[in-house]
Amino acid sequence: MLRLGRREFGPHERVIMAIVNRTPDSFYDRGATFRDEPALARVEQAVAEGAAIIDIGGVKAGPGEEVSAEEEARRTVGFVAEVRRRFPEVIISVDTWRAEVGEAVCEAGADLLNDAWGGADPGLAEVAARYGVGLVCTHAGGAEPRTRPHRVTYDDVMADILDVTVGLARRAVELGVPRESVLIDPGHDFGKNTRHSLEATRRLDEMVASGWPVLVSLSNKDFVGETLDRPVKERLIGTLATTAVSSWLGAMVYRVHEVAETRQVLDMVSSIAGHRAPAVARRGLA
């Protein structure tokens, strides 16, 4: 079972986490949701299309202009509070590696801290424990926040992923984060080249077998683009193919840009697997 905010999810449920970037320079939307009203409209649309979680980020993942903790908080804290007010049932996640930002967004109503940089600030897990919120424990290969991998190697990439993420998850629980609110994430593209991310996808069932709910952040990433030789805006098909494989292998939460398309893929895979009835079943019966 996974418990986040007011919601509980069973082992066969597939949960969508919609991305809302509060940055002027995000790699995908180039600042489309930097201002409040477009960002709130994005939240409304994502919820209507089937997202249970809204993931709010105030700093783009890649290299770029320096963003202080104060500026990151300015971009996210007030917005978290407004989303909490307008959408009381939605699960609010914040993508941050900084404990001080984590504390501020928890005060504003966040339910989940998405630590995409693998414990770069160990204090973030302590914040999650103190507020009783969820935590995403990600493998980033030891990379510093906002850096790109360069000639990174692993003897066994999945063994490293499991060692790091399960270690972070266990530490979080020891600190007091609720066991049922901790997820692990292989960290596609983070501290990895394309072959590493493909292997992590291929062996995702090994993460599922660890017993921790698995979150994947696949949407329009470079490993998809390089695999198919497609620019950012032409990676949806590759992303959805990877999503289908990940769902079949047991991943539970999907951090995405395109909610409606992802919902259809996840529902189709769940129905093939026998965990979801068809929405309509008239063929051969009329």
The residues assigned a catalytic role are 221, 255
What is the Cα–Cα distance from 5 to 2, expressed in whole angstroms?
Answer: 10
**CA proximity to 75, closest of 122, 28, 142, 24:** 24
Going by their DSSP bridges, the two strands 253-256 and 112-115 should be labelled as unpaired
Could you tell me the two tokens for 213? 């709910």
User: 């063994």: which residue's tokens?
Assistant: 159
Contact 4, 111 (CB under 8 A): yes
Largest CA distance in the chain: 63
Q: How far apart are CA 172 and CA 27, in angstroms?
A: 30
Burial of 265 per CB tally in 10 Å (0-12, 13-18, 19+): buried
Residue 67 phi, psi (nearest 5): -120, 115
Residue type, 168: L
C-alpha gyration radius of the chain = 18
According to DSSP, the residues that pair with 10 across neighbouring strands are none
**H-helix or E-strand containing 107?**
helix 99-108
Helices 157-175/194-202 angle, 10° precision: 70
DSSP E strands, 101-226: 112-115, 134-138, 182-185, 215-217
